[in-house]
A and B are shown apart, each in its own frame.
Chain A
Amino acid sequence: MKLKQLSVFLENKPGRLRELCAVLAEREINILTLSLADTEQFGILRLIVKEYDKAKAVLIEKGFVAKLTDVLAVNVNDQPGGLSEILKIEEDSGISVEYMYAFTIKNGENSILLFRFDDMDKAVDALEKANVNILNSIEFYQRAEG
């Protein structure tokens, strides 16, 4: 149910993001989607790749701090109020969003959003109870790779 996401610590210095991408490219690891959160001093790059274990090992070998975290890939109705509906379900269960980002491919009436909640297990329960479609990794990778 949960999807593995790779989080990497980045110092805010020129060329660092490009170096990271080059490392992954060299090993032919394709980035399905990413999000970059940053402050004045540092950034956190969050990546979805299919071969996350390999990607993590490569990055650590190249001197990056990288770790795996769980996120949920949720099918969200692509119309006004779609996201609000999901957030309401979580809010009602007392769960907060730590961060979220969108996946770029749209499929019909739905788009996919990636969520990190403070309580991931509780979030899954709440969403399932409300019949929201959470993509498992097989479905996700199929969609991502068209």
Chain B
Amino acid sequence: MHAQWNDKESLMHPASAPDYIHKEQLRSLQLQRLRAITKHAYDNQKLFRERMDERGVKPEDIQTLEDIRKLPFTQKTDLRDTYPYGLFAVPMNEVVRLHASSGTTGKPIVVAYTKEDIEVWNEVMVRTFACAGLHSGDIIQNAYGYGLFTGGLGAHYGAEALGATVIPISGGNSERQIMVMRDFGTTAICATPSYFLHLIEYAEKMGLDWNDIPLRVGVFGAEPWSDEMREYIEGKTGIKAFDIYGLSEIIGPGVGMACEKQQGLHIFEDHFMIEIVDPVTDEAMPDGEEGELIITTLSKKAMPIMRYRTHDITSIIAEPCECGRTIRRINRIARRSDDMFIIRGVNIFPSQIEAALLRVEETLPHYQIILSRAGGMDQMEVQVEVTAETFSDTIRGVEAVHKQLSDTIAHILGIRVKLSLVEPNTIERSMGKAKRVIDHRKN
């Protein structure tokens, strides 16, 4: 299936075939797989079986795709509570690999793969790279962190299966990243968008001219980012930036991917079933309406995850994509319900700040949001680094930039917040996921 292919003979990678499957066929394949995985999880996952029994639901009750709503949700806390191996559904000798999340908020979560699961993962990653127009002959610099994080190895084996050349550079060491990018003839890079922004800065310092290197594609993900950020990256470097979507809990990177039309992310629906629910009432939302994305793994044997609450806010695009793929898309995920914070009664997402800053021309989006409490009132401060472009040598000039940024944020949020211009490099650079919000409020 993953044999080498030649783009001169065919425009489509063989692994991408399911992306173009007939809708009816896809739905019947999904139903078949949903019934099988529900039974597998019921028979082998204690927590799932207990919840099903509590509801009086049996795997045989799944007769249509809509019947998925009868199944209980899986929460991230379920993965923590059963740490480390509580949700594994196969004997340990069938598990060929483990990964784990960083565990920034307590215990990490552990995920498992059978040999077959790894093959599925490779397949969806091949389809992911194919969406970005990558193929055998491409040189992919993989700047996702290698190790327990799913990003590094997921992209690595996917790129190999695609038939491309992989540079397993991992994250960090920016000077070497730029050197390798230039000297090895990198044509595509995988990184978090915030780390790539850092690399852009570094490259400029090192005097790199983006026109002089063959880099043409960026595969960016693992954190929410905005269309404005994509335009900024593309404008600055001339590469095409693609949004990749994935979660360790589901499989890792490779759950969804933007195609060259850049209108949402295709979900590899033959392996991942998606629903949108109202995050408060849990009610199913129709296509096109915004809510929380729920994902069910349709083929994962080692650790099936049923109706996983992603906390990612998006909507399903049911209309066919101009690229010809028949699998449905979701809109770009610019916010997560758990990223949201409330200031003076207004719901705010970090991505809104980012969009506002990028709307003001030439602002390099290095920013941080500081939340604090003073006199019983929540305060929010946005710190933005001054750049050579935004700095004019008069007080009036700097204040004009300050006002413009401040007004744009007020316009988008509907409330006025404190804005501070800070010196370059005062905001910590991340090698992985960016830390946009510092919360000093005590609960």
| Known contacts A9-B386, A65-B386, A67-B388, A37 near B395 by CB under 8 Å | yes
- Which residues of B does A touch, CB under 8 Å? 386-388, 391, 393-396, 398-399, 402, 420-426
A11 engages B391 (CB within 8 Å): no
- A-B interface pairs (CB < 8 A), number: 49
A98 engages B424 (CB within 8 Å): no
Is A10 interfacial (CB-CB < 8 Å)?
yes
Q: Identify which of A39-47, A86-94, A102-110, A130-138 touches chain B.
A: A39-47
Is A75 interfacial (CB-CB < 8 Å)?
no
Our pick among B387, B393, B396, B420 for the contact of A69 (Cβ within 8 Å) is B393
CA distance A23 to B160 in the complex (A): 48
| The 10 A-B residue pairs with the shortest CB-CB distance in the complex, in nearest-first order | A7-B393, A63-B425, A65-B391, A69-B393, A9-B391, A9-B386, A65-B386, A11-B423, A37-B395, A63-B424
B387 engages A65 (CB within 8 Å): yes
- Which residues of A does B touch, CB under 8 Å? 5, 7, 9-11, 16, 37, 39, 41-42, 44, 46, 60, 63-67, 69, 98-99, 116
A10 engages B423 (CB within 8 Å): yes
A-B contact pairs, 27 of them (CB 8 A): A9-B386, A9-B398, A9-B423, A11-B421, A11-B422, A11-B423, A11-B426, A16-B423, A37-B395, A39-B395, A41-B420, A41-B421, A42-B398, A44-B395, A44-B398, A60-B388, A63-B425, A64-B423, A65-B386, A65-B391, A65-B423, A65-B424, A67-B388, A69-B393, A98-B396, A99-B394, A116-B393
With a cutoff of 8 Å between Cβ atoms, the chain A residues found around residue B426 in the complex are 11
| Shortest Cβ distance from B394 into A: residue | A98
Q: Is the interface of A mostly helix, strand, loop or mixed?
A: strand
With a cutoff of 8 Å between Cβ atoms, the chain A residues found around residue B424 in the complex are 63-65
Beyond contacts A63-B423, A65-B424, A67-B388: 12 other A-B pairs, Cβ-Cβ < 8 A, are A16-B423, A37-B395, A39-B395, A42-B398, A44-B394, A44-B395, A46-B393, A60-B388, A65-B387, A65-B423, A66-B388, A98-B396
Q: For residue A88, give the distance in angstroms from its CB to the closest CB of chain B.
A: 23
CA distance A58 to B402 in the complex (A): 26
Q: For residue B363, give the distance in angstroms from its CB to the closest CB of chain A.
A: 13
With a cutoff of 8 Å between Cβ atoms, the chain B residues found around residue A39 in the complex are 395, 399
Q: For residue A99, give the distance in angstroms from its CB to the closest CB of chain B.
A: 7
Residue of B388, B394, B402, B420 with most chain A CB atoms under a 10 A cut-off: B394
| Shortest Cβ distance from A16 into B: residue | B423
| Shortest Cβ distance from B385 into A: residue | A65
CA distance A10 to B421 in the complex (A): 10
Residue of A7, A42, A98, A116 with most chain B CB atoms under a 10 A cut-off: A42
Q: Is the interface of B mostly helix, strand, loop or mixed?
A: loop
Q: For residue B425, give the distance in angstroms from its CB to the closest CB of chain A.
A: 5
B423 engages A44 (CB within 8 Å): no
| Shortest Cβ distance from A45 into B: residue | B393
CA distance A5 to B399 in the complex (A): 21
CA distance A5 to B393 in the complex (A): 10
With a cutoff of 8 Å between Cβ atoms, the chain A residues found around residue B393 in the complex are 5, 7, 44, 46, 67, 69, 116
CA distance A65 to B392 in the complex (A): 10
Residue of B391, B422, B426 with most chain A CB atoms under a 10 A cut-off: B391
Residue of A7, A60, A65 with most chain B CB atoms under a 10 A cut-off: A65
B423 engages A67 (CB within 8 Å): no
| Shortest Cβ distance from A71 into B: residue | B393
Q: For residue A114, give the distance in angstroms from its CB to the closest CB of chain B.
A: 13
Q: For residue A68, give the distance in angstroms from its CB to the closest CB of chain B.
A: 9
With a cutoff of 8 Å between Cβ atoms, the chain B residues found around residue A64 in the complex are 423-424
CA distance A7 to B391 in the complex (A): 9
B388 engages A65 (CB within 8 Å): yes
CA distance A69 to B396 in the complex (A): 15
| Shortest Cβ distance from B387 into A: residue | A65
Q: For residue B257, give the distance in angstroms from its CB to the closest CB of chain A.
A: 37
Our pick among B388, B396, B421 for the contact of A42 (Cβ within 8 Å) is B421
With a cutoff of 8 Å between Cβ atoms, the chain B residues found around residue A10 in the complex are 423
| Shortest Cβ distance from A98 into B: residue | B394
With a cutoff of 8 Å between Cβ atoms, the chain A residues found around residue B398 in the complex are 9, 42, 44
Q: For residue A34, give the distance in angstroms from its CB to the closest CB of chain B.
A: 13
| Shortest Cβ distance from A60 into B: residue | B388
Q: For residue B428, give the distance in angstroms from its CB to the closest CB of chain A.
A: 13
